[in-house]
Structure 1
């Protein structure tokens, strides 16, 4: 089914790309208007030219206003490397049954020494790495956040301003499709906070935002255990960050960052 959907998209991509290029006016060194990059934006908006033009406009404004986020967005940045070494985030090597890429955060891995902004930058780098693949561009991402053992004291490190900034950037300014968000065992203070943040989610994520208890059977109804590591009740081995770090090192050398 998903291969068929991708083939259908491919039939329409040349027309969408031509239409986009005819309407696009770029006068900014921060944006690459190559066909490859434009297709990344088009796929993230399901080939809607009007939505893609709006996304590119938002993307450029966001990058210009937040140049500190994107400066040295590389594995060479010590805080980004430390975040990835602490699996913040994890980028699972296997896709789910719908060919979606799975990003996992184990919130208890966060000891407060890494800033929330550095974790966000690590996520942005993982997205840049993943979005080299047209299948990832088309099939999108799901995010799983495991809140087990995340204490009230740790919750004070969560800046509401930064979280809103992250949600806005990822939803409105970044060429990636986020299709589902799963929270595992969120304590009451996290549930209360995200009841507020949920109002800023786009419609698709708001309708596909799921909360699970410590019994992970409901998570496995959405993401089968055959693709999940043992920490999430899956049949795959424990997550090992070394392979991702090596792959991102190679990617950064390739793109010169």
Structure 2
């Protein structure tokens, strides 16, 4: 049995959750029970069903149970179908990606309580890392960030730094991968993307953007901002106190040591979460790789659905 959910949101954030995502403490448990009941319609999926996990999806869909259920199903579908991104999904197997520091989770939060993440293309060595490897690291980081209830309510802001992006990078940026990432970020992860800021875009970026835009929803395209080398316009949205010096910020450098260590320490959590979803092919002993009762390595965090 999983531990009973205890809300960690401040009184102010609980009020915001009520206004923005229709979360009502008086009906929260009822909504969770309704969502779990829908799992019976998909016996082919082993659902993770602890309160904390399910609340991510209910909040993302403003407590519309049917929509939250649809998103959870798609969450498991992409993990099954996009094997180039989810085939091996454990942080310790991709320590070298985190060591490359392609992304930075900025310290603190902006004025709206949102986490700010910078993706830096200049750290992507196309001769060493396939684009799918970099995206896999990004997805692991997002899964970890989504554990924060404050982020579930306030959302995230993404900064895409295209300094050093060349034709070589462009040829490695496969449209098929871009389409999958767009699908995951918008349709599978319970992530509230509040804004995407592009900075230091080279001329070739226009070709990449034409591809990216074709996969984005109209809602997200309205949240895109382009700054080039004009950091002052970026600072109107993201305070300079959160940004590294080369983006006109007050932080001395672009680094992600704290988050890298946090991800690597969470390997067991990922291993347990990976056991949920669609059963894998039956092994040589006739036992499915997933679909069995996940271990209790993280006490009280997970609970198998009993139908």
TM-score in terms of structure 1 length: 0.89
CA distance in 2, matches of 1:236, 1:74: 30
1:93 Cα deviation after fit: 2.7
Q: Gaps spanning 5+ residues in structure 1: where?
A: none
Would the aligned equivalents of 1:17 and 1:38 in 2 still touch at CA under 8 Å?
yes
Match for residue 97 of structure 1?
111
The partner residue of 1:74 within 85, 90, 93 is: 90
The alignment status of 1:5 with 2:46, answered yes or no, reads no
**Partners of 2:207 and 2:85 in 1: how far apart?**
28
C-alpha spacing 1:196/1:71, structure 2 compared with 1 (3 Å): closer
Give the superposition deviation at 1:48. Answer: 2.2
Match status 1:170 vs 2:185:
yes
For residues 181-202 of structure 1, what are the alpha-carbon distances to aligned partners after superposition, in whole Å with 9 as ceiling and x for unaligned?
1111222321233134213212
Task: State the SS of the aligned residue for 1:105.
Answer: strand
Structure 1 residues 153, 64: closer, same or farther in 2, change over 3 A? closer
Unaligned runs of 5+ in 2: 1-11, 273-307
Alignment correspondent of 1:192: 207
Give the alignment partner of residue 71 of structure 2, picking from 36, 42, 55.
55
User: In the alignment, what sits opposite 2:35?
Assistant: 20
Structure-2-length-normalised TM-score: 0.76
2:123 is matched with: 109
CA 1:160 to 1:255, structure 2 compared with 1: closer, same or farther past 3 Å?
closer
In structure 1, the residue matched to 2:56 is 40
Q: Distance in 2 between matches of 1:88 and 1:229?
A: 14
Q: Check whether the contact 2:101–2:123 (CA below 8 A) recurs between aligned residues.
A: yes
- CA displacement at 1:255 relative to structure 2: 5.5
Distance in 2 (CA, whole Å) between partners of 1:160 and 1:99 is: 33
The alignment's C-alpha RMSD in Å is 2.2
1:145 aligns with 2:166: no
Report the CA distance between 1:96 and its aligned residue.
1.3
Matched-pair contact (CA < 8 Å) for 2:242–2:250:
yes
Question: For residues 30 and 181 of structure 1, do their structure 2 counterparts lie closer, same or farther at Cα, with a shift above 3 Å needed?
Answer: farther
8 Å Cα contact 1:84/1:90 also seen in 2: no
Q: Which SS does the other structure have where 1:73 is aligned?
A: coil
Bigger proportion of residues as helix: 1
Which of the two has higher C-alpha Rg? 2
